[in-house]
């Protein structure tokens, strides 16, 4: 059994890593966070030129035809760089249409998503706990939607949205159409703004796929968030280690203190050991559908929990200043908070694991 990235996947990872480091170093990242829009057209254009928006979309529709594992590797690097931008919702919208759309619907929407010329997103949440397709309650009335969806990533930027509807299906809504109103939410992560979409008779086009397709997209979201949280947690480990090597107390770097060494070692071992969880969850989504739901829930619950613990330790090792606006640690802390909460908390995913195992 080969357990690791192949040469093509390593090249992809190194390419995205170089792009993030070159185009969005911490000073630029802070400028974008201060702006508060969560979107930079230049960064998005750069990602589009590398083919990232269409990475997991079929070649027939303008994508690269890769799998979720490759997309998850990209999300690890987005987490490591805390990169702002709409890729999360955009990528999920592409997967939803690819899985649940008819041939005509794929032909209509996927090329624009693959090229990045058309921004898309997804709307899952019905209230605080309604992330799963079987919990969606937004109803269709004669081809139009009435109600609301919360926590829509980049809902204020997307041109259309794939909305989860009652029964576990999907419908596509143009966000500038009559009967759609977008209300910004006060989210934790300025690199990934959230919105509530209000629908008042908004025209919607139903995708053909059933709740099975929606569940696949839900699981893909869990895998991508786990991968991103993993990347962010590793960045916090390296950032904190570098700080401990330079911050002096009693005339010596604090990294020489045994208590600090132990905490840094604990942070590193917690994160690195979880890398295989998101790799396997992505592989299961691609190749082992019977294991996919369990693996995705396990990766999301475990990695995002570990990432929060690492973020808290990072703040403590920065002497408490890590949570302040002036310290970059807070940027990554807020990203892992987003990754933990969106799509369901670790507790909700552990409940799903128990239900899947008939415990």
pLDDT of res. 335? 97
pLDDT at position 112 over 60: yes
70, 9 Cβ separation under 8 angstroms: yes
Condensed to tens digits (0 to 9), the pLDDT of residues 57-102 reads: 999 999 999 999 999 999 999 999 999 999 999 999 999 999 999 9
pLDDT of res. 2? 67
pLDDT at position 253 over 70: yes
Average pLDDT, the chain: 95
Buried b / exposed e across 50-89, counting CB within 10 Å, b at 16+?
A: ebbbbbbbeeebbbbebbbbbbbbbbbbbbbbbbbbbbbb
pTM for this model (two decimals): 0.96
Buried b / exposed e across 345-355, counting CB within 10 Å, b at 16+?
A: bbebbbebbee
CB atoms within 10 A of CB 46: 18
Q: At what angle do helices 258-272 and 211-246 cross, to 10 degrees?
A: 160
Condensed to tens digits (0 to 9), the pLDDT of residues 271-287 reads: 999 999 999 999 999 99
Could you tell me the pLDDT band of residue 265, with boundaries at 50, 70 and 90?
very high
Taking residues 11-28, what's their average pLDDT? 95
pLDDT of res. 83? 96
pLDDT of res. 358? 86
For residue 205, list its beta bridge partners. 172
Taking residues 169-185, what's their average pLDDT? 96
CA distance 318 to 323: 9
pLDDT of res. 312? 96
Could you tell me the pLDDT band of residue 211, with boundaries at 50, 70 and 90?
confident
CB atoms within 10 A of CB 201: 15
Condensed to tens digits (0 to 9), the pLDDT of residues 317-347 reads: 998 787 788 899 999 999 999 999 999 999 9
DSSP 270-338: HHHTTHHHHHHHHHHHHH-HHHHHHHHHHHHHHHHHHHHHHHHHHHHHTTTGGGSTTSTHHHHHHHHHH
219, 352 Cβ separation under 8 angstroms: no
Condensed to tens digits (0 to 9), the pLDDT of residues 35-61 reads: 888 999 999 999 999 999 999 999 999
CA distance 105 to 34: 38
- Neighbouring residues of 216: CB distance < 8 A, sequence distance ≥ 6: 95, 99, 285, 292
pLDDT of res. 262? 96
Condensed to tens digits (0 to 9), the pLDDT of residues 27-37 reads: 999 999 988 88
Between 140 and 351, the more confident residue is 351
pLDDT of res. 36? 83
CA distance 182 to 149: 10
Condensed to tens digits (0 to 9), the pLDDT of residues 117-155 reads: 999 999 999 876 789 999 999 988 888 999 999 999 999
Condensed to tens digits (0 to 9), the pLDDT of residues 298-319 reads: 999 999 999 999 999 999 999 8
């Amino acid at each position: 059994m080969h357990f690791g990235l192949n040469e093509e996947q390593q090249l992809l990872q190194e390419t995205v890593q170089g792009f993030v480091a070159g185009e969005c170093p911490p000073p630029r990242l802070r400028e974008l966070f201060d702006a508060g829009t969560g979107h930079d057209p230049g960064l998005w254009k750069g990602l589009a030129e590398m083919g990232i928006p269409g990475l997991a979309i079929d070649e027939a529709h303008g994508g690269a035809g890769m799998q979720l594992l490759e997309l998850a590797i990209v999300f690890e690097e987005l987490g490591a760089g805390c990169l702002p931008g709409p890729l999360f919702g955009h990528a999920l919208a592409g997967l939803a249409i690819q899985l649940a759309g008819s041939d005509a619907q794929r032909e209509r929407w996927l090329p624009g998503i693959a090229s990045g010329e058309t921004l898309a997103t997804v709307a899952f949440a019905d209230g605080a706990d309604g992330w799963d397709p079987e919990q969606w309650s937004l109803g269709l009335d004669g081809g139009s939607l009435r109600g609301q969806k919360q926590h829509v990533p980049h809902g204020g930027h997307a041109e259309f949205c794939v909305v989860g509807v009652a029964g576990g299906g999907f419908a596509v809504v143009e966000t500038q159409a009559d009967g759609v109103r977008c209300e910004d939410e006060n989210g934790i992560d300025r690199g990934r703004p959230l919105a509530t979409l209000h629908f008042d008779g908004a025209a919607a086009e139903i995708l053909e796929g059933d709740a099975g397709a929606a569940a696949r997209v839900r699981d893909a979201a869990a895998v991508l968030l786990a991968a991103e949280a993993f990347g962010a947690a590793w960045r916090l480990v390296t950032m904190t280690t570098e700080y401990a090597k330079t911050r002096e107390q009693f005339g010596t770097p604090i990294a020489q203190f045994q208590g600090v060494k132990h905490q840094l070692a604990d942070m590193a071992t917690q994160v690195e050991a979880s890398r295989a969880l998101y790799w396997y969850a992505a592989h299961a989504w691609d190749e082992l559908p019977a294991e996919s739901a369990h693996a995705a829930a396990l990766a999301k619950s475990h990695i995002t929990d570990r990432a929060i613990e690492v973020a808290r330790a990072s703040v403590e090792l920065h002497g408490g200043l890590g949570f302040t606006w002036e310290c970059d640690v807070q940027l990554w802390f807020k990203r892992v908070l987003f990754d933990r909460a969106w799509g369901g908390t670790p507790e909700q995913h552990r409940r799903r694991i128990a239900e899947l195992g008939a415990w």
